[in-house]
Amino acid sequence: MTKRLILTRHAKSSWDDPTMSDHDRPLNERGKAAAADLGTWLASRGYVPDEVLCSDALRTRKTWSGIAPALPGSPTLSLKPSLYNAGPDVMMAVLRHAQSDTVMVIGHNPGIAEFAARIVAQPPMSPEFRHFPTGATLVASFEIDDWAQLAYGLGATRDFIVPREIVA
């Protein structure tokens, strides 16, 4: 059986209010547009999650709410406080409890960049992959029967995009 992971870093956030906590930062206008573009891109390629595991930070939640309208169906959304600024091992532990065939994880750097690099056998050719900028999205597949079997290096890269590469 094949499992698919859609791994997305939150879209561009606002730094307008220096007194605001990092956890509560919203998306800026560019981030809102990028999230909507990502939703359209995912839908156009049939990359539709059944389940979304999302950090509980405002910018990750708003990234999902920008993506979701473009997608068919109603994926199950689970807010995961442990994904807020999580490292790769925490991300792995959360993902190993996923229940659906296609799962989207929305998180933060630097952990998401490291997790992306470790989860696939061959990274995408894009020079952007190493940095995993805001909105970066990796799609990978795994020949496993259950997410509990997930291990580093098992993923086959299917696609990778950053919002500025999406052509309307």
pLDDT per residue as tens digits for the range 37-96:
999 999 999 999 999 999 999 999 999 999 999 999 889 999 999 999 999 999 999 999
Q: Please list, in sequence order, all residues whose beta carbon lies within 8 angstroms of the beta carbon of residue 117, skipping any fewer than 6 positions away.
A: 123, 129, 130
Mean local confidence (pLDDT), 135-161: 98
**Is the confidence at residue 168, as pLDDT, over 70?**
no
Q: Please list, in sequence order, all residues whose beta carbon lies within 8 angstroms of the beta carbon of residue 126, skipping any fewer than 6 positions away.
A: 160, 162
pLDDT per residue as tens digits for the range 99-127:
999 999 999 999 999 999 999 999 999 99
- The residues spanned by each domain of the chain are 1-7+31-47+60-70+91-101+119-137+152-168
Across all residues in the chain, what is the average pLDDT? 96
Which parts of the chain fold into alpha helices (H)? 29-44, 58-67, 88-95, 111-119
Q: Given this model, what pLDDT does residue 18 score? A: 85
pLDDT confidence tier of residue 17, bands split at 50, 70 and 90: confident
**Is the confidence at residue 129, as pLDDT, over 60?**
yes
